């Protein structure tokens, strides 16, 4: 994996190295119904404190999300998401020396967040709403994460049918189509990161298959992100509750890096930095001083 150590992910005035070491995107949930139990809705001070703590623990990007995408989620109105997200973006963009990302698929939320100083939009829909969001990102010169989310906006994991074919073929096709839409809207390729969407529309065995074969997506030519932290499949085979998934999460993070992930979305930044630090030494062949 040392063939792309000089690549960068461009996010407005910043260029984040990808490939040299794993980039950590800290999850800051400003929702009341996070499936991981860490929602901080309506508590701006607590969300800002979480961002400050994540920065101190080694995060590279802070990702603020105002709408839950848990299984059986219900979409929220645009105004409600704006009310949750913007006060936190406004403060973190000024108080923390890290790029701020906003996890949204709504063009109006993306536009407002970028106006408040966000560097990245993390669109879990993969531009399923059209290209308006991408045009806002292009105008700002911001970074864009595009995730595969079959069935958006409703996350309903289900068994795959035999006639659906090879999962990785479908994931590759869908991610390539999202990236093409982004580029057609004016976003340069070095601003784009792709996320295969672990757990979205997938039962645990399929997410495990996707993790095992993640490296097959590197031929798309974009950095790969993996959102594995506390996902239900990291508690298998015991079907552990979210509070007991830390070891499965750590193993999934190491496997993702070994199989080609450049960026991890994480809840526990300190633990993820330790896992990524050691895994990068082995997989990327870093000197200890560079980890």
Residue recorded with tokens 């997200």: 85
Catalytic-role residue among 106, 265, 273, 284: 265
Q: Which CATH class is domain 2-290?
A: alpha beta
Give me the pLDDT at residue 70, please.
Answer: 81
Give me the pLDDT at residue 36, please.
Answer: 44
Rounded to whole angstroms, what are the CA distances from 194 to 156, 162, 232?
21, 26, 21
Q: With 0.75 as the threshold, say if the pTM is over it.
A: yes
pLDDT tens for 173-211 read 999 999 999 999 999 999 999 999 999 999 999 999 999
Q: Could you say which residues of the chain have pLDDT below 50?
A: 1-2, 34-38
Catalytic-role residue among 20, 84, 231, 245: 231
Give me the pLDDT at residue 144, please.
Answer: 98
Give me the pLDDT at residue 277, please.
Answer: 96
Rounded to whole angstroms, what are the CA distances from 213 to 83, 222, 248?
39, 16, 18
> What span, in angstroms and rounded, lies between the C-alpha atoms of 14 and 80?
30
Domain positions in the chain are 2-290
Residue 265 bears catalytic tag: yes
Give me the pLDDT at residue 1, please.
Answer: 46
Rounded to whole angstroms, what are the CA distances from 64 to 30, 52, 61, 88?
7, 13, 10, 8
């Amino acid at each position: 994996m040392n063939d792309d150590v000089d690549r960068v992910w461009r996010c407005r005035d910043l260029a984040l190295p990808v490939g040299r070491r794993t980039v950590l995107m800290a999850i800051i949930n400003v929702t009341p119904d996070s499936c991981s139990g860490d929602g901080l809705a309506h508590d701006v001070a607590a969300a800002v404190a979480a961002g400050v703590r994540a920065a101190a623990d080694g995060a590279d990007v802070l990702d603020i999300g105002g709408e839950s995408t848990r299984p059986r989620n219900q979409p929220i109105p645009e105004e409600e998401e704006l009310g949750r997200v913007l006060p936190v973006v406004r403060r973190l963009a000024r108080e923390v020396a890290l790029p701020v990302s906003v996890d949204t698929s709504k063009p109006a939320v993306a536009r407002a967040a970028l106006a408040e100083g966000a560097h990245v939009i993390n669109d879990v829909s993969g531009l399923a709403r059209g290209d308006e969001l991408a045009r806002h990102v292009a105008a700002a010169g911001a970074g864009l994460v595009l995730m595969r989310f079959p069935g958006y906006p409703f996350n309903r994991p289900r068994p795959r049918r035999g006639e659906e074919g090879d999962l990785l073929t479908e994931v590759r096709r869908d991610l390539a189509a999202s990236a093409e839409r982004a580029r057609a809207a004016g976003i340069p390729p070095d601003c784009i990161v792709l996320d295969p969407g672990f757990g979205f529309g997938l039962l645990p065995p399929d997410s495990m298959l996707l993790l095992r074969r993640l490296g097959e997506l590197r031929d798309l030519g974009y950095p790969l992100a993996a959102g594995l932290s506390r996902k239900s499949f990291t508690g298998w085979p015991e079907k552990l509750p979210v509070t007991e998934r830390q070891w499965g999460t750590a193993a999934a993070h190491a496997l993702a890096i070994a199989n080609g992930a450049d960026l991890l979305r994480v809840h526990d930044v300190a633990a993820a930095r330790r896992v990524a630090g050691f895994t990068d030494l082995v997989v990327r062949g870093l000197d200890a001083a560079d980890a």
